[in-house]
Chains A and B, each alone.
Chain A
Amino acid sequence: MDAILKTEHLNLWYGDNHALKDVTLEMPEHQVTALIGPSGCGKSTFLKTLDRMNDLIPGVRIEGKVIYRNQNIFDPQVDVTWLRRHVGMVFQKPNPFPMSIYDNIAYGPRTHGIRGKKELDQIVEKSLRGAAIWDEVKDRLKKSALSLSGGQQQRICIARALAVEPDVLLMDEATSALDPISTSKIEDLIADLKKTYTIVIVTHNMQQATRVSDRCAFFLHGELVESGETEQIFSVPKDKRTEDYITGRFG
């Protein structure tokens, strides 16, 4: 099992609040790792830390390592733009830019210096196909991305993340604002994407975690209580706190 991304003794404080406590977790390549736990348990903080999205929050202090392809992402020589090119993020609420579908997807590649129309056309098509939305939008690429439905917008955001050809895709409750049909499209998409990418998701939906993830990590009060294969976590969890959470006894 090759971990493309892992944390070692990761601690994070928001001021005095110790939000992540000594978290050591491996996220293997081409697998879906689901982070689960009640609100405020630290799972979203953990996900954001993997992309260094907490750096600019005042009062945040981080200790320990996040290692992406043998490189500690907190090393001074690491460029955050480089990191985010390789580790993409999709948020809970679809947040397409207020521009055309085409420009949304081309935005990242353009930022990275790609200007040729032909090359951009190819990237846009490939990314939209990768996010399973090409057929739905190919005839209206010049239309505003905001004119699409929520589920389509979320797939545009996934396509936008794919356009810079990352290795890892982080998804923070990416389907919680979507209806069941859009949710199942994104879940199918996750199953396809993991052949090419490594995926880490945060979800409040236990059934979704069992449907889409290969591995699961259960967080509570900033601590990683238990991690392992999803099948094991949801059939015979080792820790009573995990069992109590997944069966809805608290949280």
Chain B
Amino acid sequence: MRKTFDAELLELGHELTAMADTAQDAIDLVTSSLSKGGEEGAKAAIELTSSMDQMERDIENHCMSLLMRQQPVARDLRTISTALKMVTDLQRIGDQAANIAEISLLMASDGEKPEVPEDLAIMSRQAGLMVRQAIAAYADRDETTALAVVNLDDVVDELFVKLKQDLTERIAHQEDHTGRAVDLIIIAKYLERIADHAVNIANWAIFCVTGQLQ
């Protein structure tokens, strides 16, 4: 029974996974381009994030069509309504990655090749991983992975606080170009926001499985 509907729900999971993969690629590209300098990586990241706009629309249309045609209830309804919520978080993640890319382009146009703190690179990897895992938790109906993503947020928050302190100290001791340090703080804040959106997605994944809102 209901082979078509199950196949459509599976496809919806694939679409969200593809969008999350794109977000993670954009985050990776933009942070590696920061330390490498140059415009190429940042431009590629911006292109990736703009392709996410179309993905968002496609997923929304798919959800609306499933709601209309299948009139889902219970877990099916949660699977589709959470997809509608998560796609917005993914889109915001794309926006944040694009914002980082813009800053990176500005730095490159100034001819700067900033020394990127190791913690920022770690934050970026963590945030990207959280996005990927949150969507995987949804697609696999895996509450444990979703909870792990929620818990990872503390690590990212701590890294952000530490980075902010380090960079503020640099500014205070005028060890570095002040504007550059402020840019790096803003980038760290964007990464911290990306992790927050990943946590939102993980919470929706948990709701999808249990029916309980966190």
- In the bound complex, how far is the Cα of B76 from the Cα of A210, in angstroms? 15
- In the bound complex, how far is the Cα of B44 from the Cα of A54, in angstroms? 74
Interfacial chain A residues near B73, Cβ < 8 Å: 206, 210, 234-235, 246-247
Is the CB–CB distance between B2 and A249 below 8 Å? yes
Distance in angstroms from A168 CB to nearest chain B CB is 27
Interfacial chain B residues near A243, Cβ < 8 Å: 74-75
Is the CB–CB distance between B72 and A207 below 8 Å? no
* Interface residues of B, count at CB 8 A: 13
Distance in angstroms from B7 CB to nearest chain A CB is 14
- In the bound complex, how far is the Cα of B2 from the Cα of A243, in angstroms? 14
Is the CB–CB distance between B75 and A247 below 8 Å? yes
Which chain A residue lies CB-closest to B5?
Answer: A248
A250 interfacial by beta-carbon distance below 8 Å: yes
Interfacial chain B residues near A234, Cβ < 8 Å: 73-74, 77
B71 interfacial by beta-carbon distance below 8 Å: yes
- In the bound complex, how far is the Cα of B72 from the Cα of A164, in angstroms? 40
Distance in angstroms from B117 CB to nearest chain A CB is 45
Interfacial chain B residues near A108, Cβ < 8 Å: none
- Among B5, B72, B73, B77: residue with most chain A CB under 10 A: B73
A53 interfacial by beta-carbon distance below 8 Å: no
Which chain A residue lies CB-closest to B73?
Answer: A234
Contact for A235 among B2, B5, B71, B211, CB less than 8 A:
B211
Is the CB–CB distance between A247 and B72 below 8 Å? yes
**B31-73 CB contact bits vs A (8 Å, 1 = yes)?**
0000000000000000000000000000000000000000111
In chain B, positions 1-29 with a C-beta closer than 8 Å to chain A are 1-2, 5
Distance in angstroms from B100 CB to nearest chain A CB is 39
Q: A207-B71, A236-B211, A247-B75 are in contact. List 7 more A-B contacts (CB 8 A).
A: A210-B73, A235-B74, A235-B77, A235-B211, A236-B212, A247-B72, A249-B1
